[in-house]
Structure formats: structure tokens, C-alpha cells
Structure 1
Amino acid sequence: MLSYSSYMLIAAAALLVTCNALPKYPGIPGLPSIPGLPGRDNLKGQTRLSGLRGASGSLVRPPVKQLTCPQGLPNSLNTELHKVLVNLKHRLSRLKGVLVLNGNIREVGEKILATNGKKVDFASALASCEEARGTLATPMNEEENKAILGIVKKYNRYAYLGIKEGEDSGQFKYLNGMHVNYTKWHQNEPNGKRTEKCVEMYTDGSWNDKRCNLPRLTICEF
């Protein structure tokens, strides 16, 4: 876990980047510039500015709240922040290596697959994945199907996939409602005829439609 001071360093760096990215309004400290509008110095000599002059004819400027930003981090803090980020990256890399070695996670393309090794029903499996800000593993191509199969084989357990039968019998969809564009059905499957609305992966990588209340291995994707 990072210390409180480490989090503060990271927050300070983020604030510094944001402040340095703000262009200033000419002549009005702290106000971002707006292309096409004159600066304060350019307002002199202009006699007609609708909505900016009071009853006496004098120029009225709206109050501007000063935006204050740090002028930069001391070199010592920049060095410390760099060390914190390097250390964090190193620790994450080691943790990832341990998990990969134990077969708990696998990488495929832009996805990371992970399992907690538990067998639960479909709803519970999905809830576990969503609680971890992921979803049930959903193979979109042969490569992803093989990656999920690797975890299935390690645990020697069937696993639920992020696919369910839609309103039309025999029409299966991803959990986001899109139609499935890659399938790996076992021979003569699916054959549940609306009684088996979930999809499980066998230990050979093929799919079978199945009832959703049976315990199956939880595999999530992120």
C-alpha cells in the first residue's frame, strides 16, 4: 500500500499538470484565454460593448476569482515522486508475475482474465466480476477462447461465459445486448430450447447452453 505522503505527491503532480495547461486571459490573472475575445488592455478606447457598460456609461467588468496554482514542485519532490511511481510499477509487475505463474490471471490482447477459483451460480459469478469492475469472461475470437480455456483446464471445472439467450429462442447475446459474433458450440448445441439460458465452457473449450443456477467456475475479464 502507498503511504499517505505518496498519494499527496501524486495528487500534487496532477494538480500541477492541470494548472500549467491553463492558458491565461490577457490582463486578467487566473482567467483562461478565450480565442476571439479581446484582452483587458484591448478594451481601452472601445465605446460600444453591449452588456458591459453601466448606467453612467462606465465600463463594468464582472468580478474574476483569482485562480492560484503552484509554480512547480521543488526538485526534491519531483525526484521523490519519480521514485514512488517507479517503485509502484515494479511492485505491480512482480504481483502480476506471481499471479500469472499461479495461473490465476492470463493476458490476451487488451484483456486480462482472472479467477478467484470459486464455483457459484451465474448471477453470483457476474456480481463478483462487476464488484471488481469487470465482467464475466466473454470470448470474442479463438485466441480469447483459448485463453479462457487455459484457466478452465487448470481448475478442471466448467465455467460460465458472459453470454445469455435473448428473447428469441436459440439467439444468444453478449451481456451488453449485442448479438454473438463468435461461437464455439459443442456438437448438437445449443439445444436447451429456452430452458437453458446461460452458456458454460467445457474443459475442451467448446460451449454448452445450461441452466443458470448451477455452480460453475468464476472467470472475469478486465
Structure 2
Amino acid sequence: MLSYSSYMLTAVAALLVTCHVLCKCPGIPELPGISGLPGRDGLKGQPHLPGLTGLSGSFMGPPGRDGLLCCVGLPDSLDTELCNVLVNLKHQLSRLESLLALNGKIRKVGEKILASNGKEVDFASALEFCEEAGGTLATPMNEEENEAILGIVKQYNRYVYLGIKEGEASGQFRFLDGTQLNDTNWYLNEPSGKGKEECVEMYTDGTWNGKKRNQNRLIACQF
């Protein structure tokens, strides 16, 4: 049974990523805007409410508010209050992030945050733990991310499961979403399981090795 503090650590890491997404500027183009219905200037049945636009549109706060989201159409007092709350939240989470990073609880690499609770479980349990916390298993997409995960491996001096598993073809490994590996760091003559090793672990030198999924390895999540 994983401890309450372990869940809290990974949940905080996920919250930090969420804050980065919500608080950064410019807006996020992937989220389409919700515009008011034509001729109604807003929501149907509410002709006086202006329609909302997406995060990349006028839903963004004005310059000078640290790129935070502010709601167009709200009274000035509420709009200002909301932005002040978000500024304060961003500041507090930034301090928490710095504290966790200082204590070695999390590691930042690009837009990812990596975290481990120091526990060792089998592959399925490690993946379930990370997904329940809002993330997935740490997955190195390039050399920089591989080095960041290696930092966790060295911190606990334990091999760690990666977010990589065997695909439909025996001995062919892919990322958890099924996409092909784009940058590998296999140990000499690995993978060598020939269909008998379904998962991938990272050694303490940063290289990868095929492994059976029922072995216990360190949990490392990414958010």
C-alpha cells in the first residue's frame, strides 16, 4: 500500500504543471474559444452576456497582469479580484516548486516535472500509481530528459521503469501511446529478451534494458 504522502507528492507535481499551463503567456491555441451565438452577443437566452473567447483570444488578461487569465465580461471588481487570486496562486506554487526541487523531491526538464516517492513496485502498479496522480511513467524523449530521469535513479540508487513497453511485434519497443521510439539509449546488445521482456528499465548509468513486467523497480512519474 502506497503512503498518503506519496500520493500528495505526485499530486503536487501535477498541480504545478497545471499552474504553468494556466498562468503562462501567450494563450494556449489548442483550446478552442467558446464564442457567443450569432446575433445574440453571447449565450442563447442571455442577450446581454458577451460570448467567451478561447484562451488565445480576449479571454487573456491585459498586459501587466503576468499573462494570467481574466474573464472578459465580468465586473471590473471581480475581474481584478480573480486576477489577483491567480497571481497569488502562481507565486505560492512557484515557491513550493522551488522548495520541492531544492529538496530533490521533483526535477524539472523542459515542460515536464518528474517525481518519485522512492517506492519499488511492478510495472503495472507503477503505471497505475502515476496515472492516478494525473501523470504517466517517466519517458525520456531526448538526451536531456534521459539525464533528468537518471538523476532520480542516482538519487535512490535504484533501477527505474520507463514509459516504454513492447509493441505488437516481438522485441519491438514503443512508447506507451504506441508511437515509435525516436531517441534510444539501449545498453550494449539490448534489447535481448526476444519477446520475453515486455518492459524497459533504466540502469544507474542511464542506459536501458529490457525487463519482465513482474519485477519491482523504482516509481518515477512525469507530469
TM value normalised by structure 1: 0.68
Q: CA deviation at 1:68?
A: 4.6
More strand by share: 1
- Which position in structure 1 is the counterpart of 2:107? 106
Q: CA deviation at 1:110?
A: 1.9
Q: CA deviation at 1:190?
A: 1.3
Q: CA deviation at 1:82?
A: 3.1
Rate the CA distance shift 1:166–1:74 in 2: closer, same or farther, 3 A: closer
Q: Are residues 1:143 and 2:149 paired?
A: no
Rate the CA distance shift 1:86–1:159 in 2: closer, same or farther, 3 A: same
CA contact (8 A) 1:106 1:114 kept: yes
- The 5-angstrom pairing of residues 44-55 of structure 1 reads none
Q: Are residues 1:184 and 2:185 paired?
A: yes
- Which position in structure 1 is the counterpart of 2:45? 65
Rate the CA distance shift 1:199–1:72 in 2: closer, same or farther, 3 A: closer
More displaced 10-residue stretch of structure 1: 109-118 or 206-215: 109-118
- The 5-angstrom pairing of residues 111-190 of structure 1 reads 111-190=112-191
Rate the CA distance shift 1:168–1:23 in 2: closer, same or farther, 3 A: closer
Secondary structure of 2:152's aligned partner: helix
Runs (4 or more) in structure 1 with deviation over 4 Å come to none
- Residues 171-195 of structure 1, C-alpha deviations (whole Å, 9 max, x = no match): 1111111121211111121111211
Secondary structure of 1:153's aligned partner: helix
**Aligned equivalents of 1:220, 1:74: Cα separation in 2:** 41
Aligned Cα root-mean-square deviation (Å): 2.3
Rate the CA distance shift 1:187–1:90 in 2: closer, same or farther, 3 A: same
- The 5-angstrom pairing of residues 23-34 of structure 1 reads 25=39, 31-32=40-41
**Aligned equivalents of 1:209, 1:115: Cα separation in 2:** 21
**Aligned equivalents of 1:174, 1:22: Cα separation in 2:** 40
* Aligned residue type for 1:69: L
- Which position in structure 2 is the counterpart of 1:61? none
**Aligned equivalents of 1:212, 1:195: Cα separation in 2:** 10
Secondary structure of 1:188's aligned partner: coil
- Which position in structure 2 is the counterpart of 1:37? none
* Aligned residue type for 1:221: Q
Which of these two proteins has the greater Rg computed from alpha carbons? Answer: 1
Q: CA deviation at 1:203?
A: 0.7
Q: CA deviation at 1:74?
A: 4.5
- Which position in structure 1 is the counterpart of 2:60? none
- Residues 68-127 of structure 1, C-alpha deviations (whole Å, 9 max, x = no match): 53964243x344333312211111001101111121211112222111221111001101
**Aligned equivalents of 2:188, 2:177: Cα separation in 1:** 26
Q: Which runs of 5 or more structure 1 residues have no equivalent in the other structure? A: 1-17, 26-30, 34-63
CA contact (8 A) 2:120 2:216 kept: yes
- Which position in structure 1 is the counterpart of 2:92? 91
Rate the CA distance shift 1:134–1:72 in 2: closer, same or farther, 3 A: closer
Q: Which runs of 5 or more structure 2 residues have no equivalent in the other structure? A: 1-32, 51-72
